[in-house]
Amino acid sequence: MEWFMYVAQALKQMRDRIKIEACVGDVTAFLEQIKYGAVGHRQQHAMSETHAQTVQPKGAYPQVYDRIHLSNVPDYVGGTLTSHMYALQMTHPDPSSFVTFTCLRNPPRFNTVAAFDAEYVALHTEKDLESVFHVRFSREEFPIMPMPMCAYNRWYHPAVSREYNI
């Protein structure tokens, strides 16, 4: 119980610097709405002289995130494909910003994270994943266990070097 008190005190001290938003719905649709500034509950309706328009207040909500936790949602909506295409695009390009998720639907089917990726994105090596999606798998907290997809896996965008050319 004491731990929760410490967490509550920390959140109280950070209240002007932290924003937690819980949203229910399709994760891919919601992340697209954030990207294009079209999230319904974030918008304000403003009347001009000619017509009504909907605007999102500047700075009221973040557009890029430090962490996105997807739980086991990728199990049901395309595995790492949707995570890489939608969620990782909304994080800062740095190893300290990442997306986490786990596989609860059928973890015994995948002996490695690479096997999970091969199933959902048809790319078999980490080098291929990085060249196509510009993502890396973080092995820092990767537990050694018989079913690696049961753990929360961490993906991030590496910082792009100044020498990077398309």
Count of structural domains, the chain: 2
Q: Is the pLDDT assigned to residue 68 strictly greater than 80? A: yes
Both 129 and 142 in one domain: the answer is: yes
* 145 and 85 together in one domain: yes
pLDDT of residue 75: 73
Residue 50 pLDDT > 60: no
Residue 9 falls within a domain, yes or no? no
Domain that holds residue 57: 25-61
Domain assignment of residue 99, yes or no: yes
Mean pLDDT of 18-23: 75
Q: Are residues 50 and 69 in the same domain?
A: no
pLDDT at 145: 63
pLDDT tens for 83-140 read 888 888 888 888 888 888 888 777 778 888 888 888 888 888 888 888 888 888 886 6
Q: What phi and psi values does residue 159 have, to the nearest 5 degrees? A: -65, 140
Same domain, 144 and 101: yes
> Which residue, among 90, 98, 101, 164, has the nearest Cα to 131 in the 3D structure?
164
C-alpha 107/C-alpha 160 separation (Å) is 33
Sheet holding 136-138, edge to edge: 67-69, 98-101, 153-156, 136-138
Question: What mean pLDDT comes out for the span 35-62?
Answer: 64
pLDDT band at residue 162 using 50, 70 and 90 as cut-offs: low
29, 66, 83, 123 from 38: Cα distances, Å: 10, 21, 20, 32
* 71 and 151 housed in the same domain: yes
> Higher confidence at residue 127 or residue 37?
127
Which pLDDT band, with edges at 50, 70 and 90, does 73 fall under? confident
Q: Is residue 141 part of a domain?
A: yes
Indicate whether 108 belongs to any domain. yes
Q: What is the pTM of this model?
A: 0.71
